[in-house]
Every structure is written in C-alpha cells, then in structure tokens.
Amino acid sequence: MAVFMIIVVIGIMQSFPELFGGYELGEGEYYTTDCRNQFFGPCNTYNNAFCHYINGKDLEVRKAASEAASQHPGPHSLEQLLDIYDYTKQNIAYISGSRDMASQPYPPNETLYTKSGDCKNQAVLIASMAEATGGSARVVLIPECGHAYAEALLGPKEKADEYREAILAHYGSTPEMTLTLDADGSVWLPLDPAGGQYPGDFYDPCLNAKERYYVYECG
C-alpha cells in the first residue's frame, strides 16, 4: 500500500538562524531559507553558484524537455514533470561529485551533452526542463548532508489528493511518496533521481536534515 505524506515547512529562516534556536522541530519539519532575489549571507553564496545555471530558455534544454514530455503535449502538467523525472533517471547517469553545495554545477546543456552528472547537475537540469515546459521549479540544497535535488510547483494543498492519484496512476504504485508544503499553502514535488527511485522519494540520509535552502532561476 502506498504511503502519502506531506513534509511541513516550519518557517523562513532567512539569514538569522539564531532567531529559531529555541524551537524544537517535530518529525518531518525543517527550517528553510528561500533565497529568491537574496544576495547576502549563505544565499549570496548559493545564488552565485546556482541561479544562473537554472535556465529553461536554453535551446538544448527545451529540446530535451519536449522529447521527454512527448507523450503528454500541451500546457504544463504534472504528467510532464513525471516524464522529465523519468527522462533524467533513464538518460543521465549519476556520477558522484563535490558535496560542497557552494561549488558550481555544470550548465544543464553540458549535463545533457555528457549524459552524466552528480546530484547538483541533475537538480539544475530537472529544474531547467520543468521551467522549459512552463512550470515553476527550484533547487533544494541541503548542506548538512551534501545533497541537492529539484522541486517543482504543483499547486494548492487542497488538490494534494489529486496530485497523489496522478502520480500513482503514472507509476502504478509507490511504497512512499512525500510532497513539500510551503508556508503559503503551495505544494511542491521533490524530484531527486540521484537519491530517490521515483518522484516524492529522496536521499534517505537527508531525511533528518533540519536546514534547507531554496534557489531559483535568476531574475
């Protein structure tokens, strides 16, 4: 039987972790720093390393996204995101790289060309492909365990059951599925081919990490 859970984001830490030092996180909870348009503290480091490489307008990225989603043409959809995940899982070999989240990834077109990359490169490629289909995506950085993966926006939490059913219909069944619920009520789908076996599954050693950074395409 499939297990469906939503990880709850407790708060936006920004660059002031000391403000949250007295809060005890529960299971499935963690602090996040949304680095969108923030160029100070750790966000400055991570934006400089990543945001320029998340690029849904690159021609090779657009071609790959079109190929991946060829069975589900039309406006951006959850099915296209699942196709993009499958495409990356099947065509981009995982090769271990630097676990330093401040190290720059390859541009996504280079990852497509070499057909290989570490978790950072795969995350940037998936986020770029998701944006090439008209979606919204981000790269999640977890310095504590040296891992990165992509997340794509699904929509409001009221439709969480619909998202679950669509994912189950695509894969038949999954032993466990995790979605991310932001503080504003929006639901995001983790896409981690380097650490997980299907969308909503990710690298087990990171499950207990209590701090994550969200990085988006520059602009």
Please report, for the chain, the start and end positions of each structural domain, with discontinuous segments joined by +: 4-215
Digit-coded pLDDT (tens) for 55-112: 999 999 999 999 999 999 999 999 999 999 999 999 999 998 888 888 999 999 999 9
* CA within 13 Å, CB half, 115: 3
Q: How far is the C-alpha of 218 from the C-alpha of 111, rounded, in Å?
A: 19
For the chain, the straight-line distance linking the first and the last C-alpha, in angstroms and rounded, comes to 42
Digit-coded pLDDT (tens) for 111-125: 999 999 999 999 999
Q: Is the pLDDT of residue 159 over 60?
A: yes
The sign one gets for the Cα dihedral 10, 99, 137, 77 is negative
Query: Which CATH code is given to the segment(s) 4-215?
Result: 3.10.620
Residue 16: name the closest of 36, 40, 37 by CA: 40
